[in-house]
Amino acid sequence: MFTPKYPPQDTAPPATLPVPASDLPAPAAPAPAPIVAAPVSNRPTVQLTPGSALALAAGGGAVVLVVGAVLVSLLLAVAITGMSVAVVAVVLRSLLKDLDKHR
């Protein structure tokens, strides 16, 4: 019931033997491909003026600053949470130690 079922041997592709490179005929030099002109695009090209390039750089800088501020605030939140958990653990340990002493 749990034995694998293998396909019959005659369905496997025949194995090919590698031919030594010395027995292969020398390849003929291919004919050079004809040069085809690039098709003309109907889309308008984007041309950056100095003002638009400056606006693009300022926008990219603003994005970097916003993403950096978000990441730093997330890191700070994780650090504050870790510190508060550590303080709670110390307080609970102290309370449990005091509880054991007064028994």
Residue 96's domain spans which residues? 73-103
Note whether residue 41 is domain-resident.
Answer: no
**What's the pLDDT tens digit per position in 29-86?**
777 777 777 777 787 777 888 899 999 999 999 999 999 999 999 999 999 999 999 9
| Domain-located, residue 78 | yes
Q: State the pTM of this model.
A: 0.46
**The pLDDT of residue 12 is above 70:** no
Residue 74: its pLDDT value, please? 97
**The amino acid at 25:** P
Q: Do the domain assignments include residue 64?
A: no
- Total domain count, the chain: 1
Q: Does 97 fall in a domain?
A: yes
Domain assignment of residue 38, yes or no: no
d(CA 74, CA 62): 18
56 contact partners, CB below 8 Å, separation of at least 6: 48
DSSP 81: H
